[in-house]
Amino acid sequence: MPAMPAPARRNQFLPFSPPLLGEEEIREVVDTLRSDWITTGPKTKRFEADFAEHLGAPSALALSSCTAGLHTALATLGVGPGDEVITTPLTFTASVNVIEHVGARPVLVDVEPDTLNLSPAAVEAAVSWNTSAILPVHYAGHPVDLDPIADIARRFDLALVEDAAHALPARYKGRLIGSGDNPVSFSFYATKNLTTAEGGMLTGGAAFLERARVLSLHGMSRDAWKRYDKGGSWRYEVLAPGFKYNMTDIQASLGLCQLRKLPAFQARRREVVRLYEAGFGHEPALELPVERPDVEHAWHLYVLRLRPEALRIGRDQFIDELTARNIGTSVHFIPIHLHPYYRDKYRYVPERFPVALRNYERMVSLPLHPRLSDQDVADVIEAVLDVVHAYRR
């Protein structure tokens, strides 16, 4: 269907999710660059301690990415060939790639229609003699229904590794995600609620993270700071064939500042969400994201779902129309089973996970970040409603 003429209402393009960095971050990074230590050192250790304290977590390990955290967690748990790990098809590929990296088999199960999170009933139905772990993803920042999934893990003696790339600082039944003993991996990528440009954090029990720390840096018994700082020893032993997943003090400098700003960032995200809800709440062509009463959403993403029966265009053209109006958007995510590697290896057909597929086909992620002004938000609302009105059935 040809697009109707729609001149952009904005003079400048509104980016989907730029970072918000200030002079504090710049000063902290410069201080690090002028110091004697720019890789993993004192600021990384301080960031780990501050992050653990912020969540009330037993311990924290700063890493190069959330992907590194998930991979290190699975490897530390001993998950490997012959094992199965249950996870979701509606996630970024990193969540599933790490299962392949350790030689295990990812077992995808469908999601719940409201939150788009892993369905506990589907998880239990998928448990087999080979299942070793469950890897839920807190989609868009809305916590997974953890209690029934944790109960399944206990009953079948399975590990529980959470992908919390979107979930800082989400709460489930009053508990911050990442505050427990099981491994939980966070992302500090440039678009996340807290950024170190690239980077991540793994939380969990102190003893577990000490083993993970060895694997995260070549399997060595001592890191460079302990070897090269005053009083350190040059001797080390390689205890396992580990990885190169450490965070640098340059990255941690950003994280220390961003962590202090996180409450203000989140307050602004919630304000934007309230404005979106007020703007879209009465439009029958749009399905708004949910927040269950027993959780606190991190609002990393604001995912609208179009109602196809109400519109004469599909999702892809809807996005094109918003781009023509200078509004940046994205889609989260192309389901794992549609990607050629997983589709071909495991012989998935698109309809294998119908809830994930149907929702993917009608989802649009709108800008949601603390740099948005009220006028920016008003422009997004106006543009979305303008497209809806132009193409209403």
Report the catalytic residues. Answer: 192
What sign results for the dihedral spanned by CA atoms 63, 143, 374, 321?
Answer: positive
Q: Residue 330's beta-bridge partner residues?
A: 365
Cα end-to-end span (Å), the chain:
13
Structure tokens at 366: 């709108």
Please name the amino acid found at residue 342. Y
Cβ(357)–Cβ(343) below 8 Å: no
- C-alpha span between 60 and 170 (Å, rounded): 17
DSSP string of 57-69? -SEEEEES-HHHH
- C-alpha span between 133 and 130 (Å, rounded): 9
Q: Which residues of 361-391 are buried (b: 16+ CB within 10 A; e: fewer)?
A: bbbbbbbbbbebeeebbebbbebbebbbeeb
Write the burial class of residue 82 (CB in 10 Å: 0-12 exposed, 13-18 middle, 19+ buried). exposed
Residues whose CB falls within 8 Å of the CB of residue 177, separated by 6 or more in sequence, listed in order: 55, 138, 143, 162, 164, 167, 168, 169, 170, 171, 184, 298
- C-alpha span between 214 and 211 (Å, rounded): 5
What sign results for the dihedral spanned by CA atoms 323, 318, 274, 192?
Answer: negative
Structure tokens at 27: 């000063």
Helix (H) or strand (E) holding 121: helix 120-126
